[in-house]
Chain A
């Protein structure tokens, strides 16, 4: 394997971790949306932490090896697809961070309600189905899919 092969493999591995993690988180979040019992919602949010680790690791790998690849292949730093990918990467990270913080608070609320009788709670259901939170998560995911599209089409090369 050449140096380029290694860089590309590690960059793509990072992409699989980020997007795979996002899909995983999506599966658990959708499952949580369909539940009413706080203990079940708390359990599904605890499982989401595995996805969060994968996303964090992948974000690091994609950035480090992506920048390394740009330098190694001699792509111009001002090419449209590279600039847009970096902007979307930053935005997606920021939105994911905000969504993640909210998710943590929801999990803590679900855990508290589970320990206090585990009865369905309108407060938890309301927060779980908050349109702003859902929009934040889906926008973050959409931005990452857009980055994949940029990597495939490479506009501006």
Chain B
């Protein structure tokens, strides 16, 4: 029983982390675009974008990535297949972009959500979402 449940917990946590990651990045996309489109509320929206990155996106990235590593270590201890490599490459690239976005969002929030930093965040956030879509394509279709 334990042998069946434990590996599935890792998969479940990985899936849950991926879902929260996609949803919270989606929220950042909406907030970043709204910051540009609603100048009257740009201070509030840019602050929310930063907090979402800090309290939802970054923890969700770890929830997605750590169980993924545990699953791969167990299932493919010596040589992992191509689709795992695609997933890891994309997720690590997204991790770097998330960190950069968090710095940009912090600086943008400090400036009240106006200017080039707000535009940069509105460009970076959809890139993360598109990259995550590539990852879930690789995870479901498992190209060799």
Interface residues, chain A, with chain B CB atoms under 8 Å away: 1, 5, 8-9, 12-13, 15-16, 19-24, 26-28, 31, 39-40, 43, 47, 50-51, 54, 145, 148-149, 152-153
Contact = CB atoms under 8 A, between A and B. Distances in A.
A43 B41 CA distance: 9
A51 B25 CA distance: 12
A148 to B, nearest CB: 6
14 contacts: A12-B136, A19-B20, A22-B23, A23-B24, A23-B56, A24-B23, A27-B56, A43-B34, A43-B44, A47-B30, A148-B15, A148-B16, A152-B11, A153-B5
Contact of A40 (B44, B139, B142): B44
B31 A47 contact: yes
Nearest to B12: A152
Question: Could you say which of B11, B16, B20, B27 has the most chain A C-beta atoms within 10 Å of its C-beta?
Answer: B27
A109 B64 CA distance: 39
Interface string B3-32: 001001001100110111011101100110
* Interface of B, helix, strand, loop or mixed by DSSP: helix
B38 to A, nearest CB: 7
A23 B20 contact: yes
Interface string B107-134: 0000000000000000000000000010
